[in-house]
Amino acid sequence: MWKAIVLPLAAVSALAACGNNPGEQALFGGGAGAVGAAALGGDPVAGAAVGAGGNVLYCQANPGRCRR
């Protein structure tokens, strides 16, 4: 049951706090990815890598949608 709460919160946090530069974007996305992977029983390191890359790509492609 807690997975149903943690995952949406992690996803919303990642998109709500995009970061002001690519380093912050990678940090926020990596944190959300690690938490999501751990909650699903996956590898947190792989989740962090995917989350960091995904958040940087999203924020760079959609700067107007990220809250800073």
Render pLDDT for 25-56 as a digit per residue (tens, 0 to 9).
899 889 888 888 888 888 989 989 998 998 88
**How many domains in the chain?**
1
Give the domain range for residue 50: 2-65
Integer Cα distance of 61 and 38 in angstroms? 27
Tokens encoding 49: 């890598």
Counting residues of the chain whose pLDDT is more than 90, the rounded percentage is: 9
The verdict on pTM exceeding 0.75 is no
Q: Is 9 helix (H, G, I), strand (E, B) or coil?
A: helix
